[in-house]
DNA sequence: AATGTGCCCTGACACAAATCAAGGGAATCC
DNA sequence: GGATTCCCTTGATTTGTGTCAGGGCACATT
């Protein structure tokens, strides 16, 4: 499970490889801290590693030549990204909120991998992602703007929300354009839909990036969760 | 790569397990012939096997409670279906055109699988599917009806089309409703779009199920292939 | 302070696709 | 052989979302 992320107008990034090594975390694989705004990999880069997200938020995007972009996913703690298909990556991966990731060589997935436990965990993540993407098909193809935005907020609340009594607050690491490109909408529609939820007193905005869910049940209903 | 398939109003199917065993095909795994209209598995069934499609066409569908359906994929020869996530299947799988499949126990994917060659092939299929599904996100989220239908026909022509000089004929195993649910459109829009392509002399219909592509370049252009 | 820039919101309008409605052809059933 | 049903097509109309345009706020720069 995995929330895709829309592509932002990334100019030249701070430093694509300003990645500081940290103490090894688990399974004696190296963990890395990656700063917000950094690029983990670009489309076309050789797919040499697989990343398990420990903390932070990343965004995977793909672009068509005509300029249309699709945010494939937002990767949250617990997600695995960078699954190789062929030699190269087919998405861009950028850091929206500085993160820590565990890095595995791509061979960690292979048949004769040294660490069977890790191999199995990565495989499971890949299979689970297939299932999550199938869900996302429904989202993109069959849901209204309101249902899309509500579903999106429900998932975020569930995964990175912090409860305050009845309320849940979410810190949106992504911009409106990212959300729009993730949900297959325009910025304007996302904005209008958020306003609509606000007017219905289902959510309120503390700032543009901080959503407070006032009525989780109503939000779930708007999401028409199956 | 893998063409998702929309769910049809499947009444009770002929016989879900009218599956005849055939001679083993490759790697001494059993091959099965499955008749058109049969169900390979249903949502909720225990995911015990993985299937490699040798011949024929299958359809994977998922349904929301409110009745909205999504064709997740059409599986064509060369595709692998039935990847497990958790204990059970999360889609329905039906045979649109009688098929032969190689059946593997789900453990064939696991770390210590007996047949490393098969394990690797299945893994590769899973990773490739993740990539194909990412492409499909663009399709669903960002393409117009014309681009969707054209792209769909381009893929089918490429994978199951039979060339006749400049032309390519495709036998559509799926109904309009399947195509619509696959592309996130309505039946009417699919029909109108096909008419539009017909009027433009890019395709012609021999019957409702048999498309002849008269002008592959024009079709590719309409698909705005990247 | 003044100016510029990025991001978000809102309004007016246009348009693509959904919806509603109807008809026809082919296959199936009795 | 006639009726029924399923599937596809086409037309008229509606509607949700995109597009175009403008304005405001927060923050950085000078």
Q: Sort B188 into a burial class: Cβ within 10 Å, 0-12 / 13-18 / 19+.
A: exposed
Residues 27-56 in B contacting A (C-alpha not used; CB under 8 Å): none
Say if residues B156 and B168 touch (Cβ distance below 8 Å): no
pLDDT for res B2: 57
Contacts of A168 (CB under 8 A, 6+ apart): A157, A161, A162, A212, A213, A216
Nearest 5 degrees, angle CA A131-CA B45-CA B63?
A: 55
For residue B197, the distance in angstroms to the closest alpha carbon of chain A comes to: 22
What is the model's pTM? 0.88
pLDDT for res A64: 83
Q: Which residues of A touch B128 (CB under 8 A)?
A: 85
Chain mean pLDDT for chain B: 88
Closest CA relative to residue B47, chosen from B96, B85, B88: B88
pLDDT for res B40: 96
Q: How confident is the model at residue A5 (pLDDT cuts 50, 70, 90)?
A: very low
Helix or strand holding residue A62 (H, E): strand A49-63
First to last CA, chain A: 16
Q: Which residue is nearest to nucleotide D18 (CA to C1')?
A: A186
**Nearest CB partner across the interface for A134, out of B91, B111, B131:** B91
Contact yes or no for A138 and B91 at CB 8 A: no
Q: Which residues of B touch A127 (CB under 8 A)?
A: 83-85, 109, 126
Q: Does A21 touch chain B (CB under 8 A)?
A: no
Burial B6-41 (b: 16+ CB within 10 A, else e): bbbeeeeeeeeeebeeeeeeeeebebbbbbeebbbb
The answer, yes or no, to whether residue B13 has pLDDT greater than 50, is: no
pLDDT for res B3: 60
Contacts of B223 (CB under 8 A, 6+ apart): B147, B150, B151, B153, B154
Interval A68-125: pLDDT, tens: 899 999 999 999 999 999 999 999 999 999 999 999 999 999 878 788 999 999 999 9
* Residue B142 tokens, joined: 């960002």
**Nearest CB partner across the interface for A128, out of B85, B123, B127:** B85
Q: Does B67 touch chain A (CB under 8 A)?
A: no
Interval A145-157: pLDDT, tens: 999 999 999 999 9
Q: What are phi and psi of B115, to 5 degrees?
A: -100, 95
pLDDT for res B204: 98
Mean pLDDT, residues B66-78 taken together: 94
């Amino acid at each position: 499970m995995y929330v895709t992320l829309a592509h932002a107008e990334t100019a030249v990034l701070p430093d694509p490889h300003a990645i500081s090594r940290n103490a090894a975390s688990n399974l004696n694989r190296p963990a890395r801290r990656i700063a917000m705004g950094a690029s983990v990999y670009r489309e076309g880069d050789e797919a040499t590693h697989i990343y398990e997200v420990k903390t932070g938020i990343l965004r995977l995007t793909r672009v068509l030549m005509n300029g249309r972009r699709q945010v494939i996913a937002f990767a949250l703690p617990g997600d695995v990204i960078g699954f190789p298909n062929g030699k190269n990556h087919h998405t861009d991966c950028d850091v929206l909120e500085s993160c820590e990731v565990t890095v595995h060589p791509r061979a960690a997935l292979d048949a004769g991998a040294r660490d069977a436990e890790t191999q199995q965990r990565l495989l499971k993540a890949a299979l689970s992602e297939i299932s999550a993407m199938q869900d996302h098909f429904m989202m993109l193809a069959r849901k209204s703007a309101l249902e899309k935005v509500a579903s999106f907020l429900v998932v975020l609340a569930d995964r990175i929300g912090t409860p305050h009594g009845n309320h849940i607050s979410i810190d949106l690491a992504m911009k409106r354009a990212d959300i729009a490109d993730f949900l297959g909408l325009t910025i304007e529609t996302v904005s209008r839909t958020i306003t609509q939820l606000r007017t219905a007193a289902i959510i309120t905005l503390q700032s543009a990036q901080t959503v407070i869910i006032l009525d989780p049940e109503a939000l779930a209903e708007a999401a028409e969760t199956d």
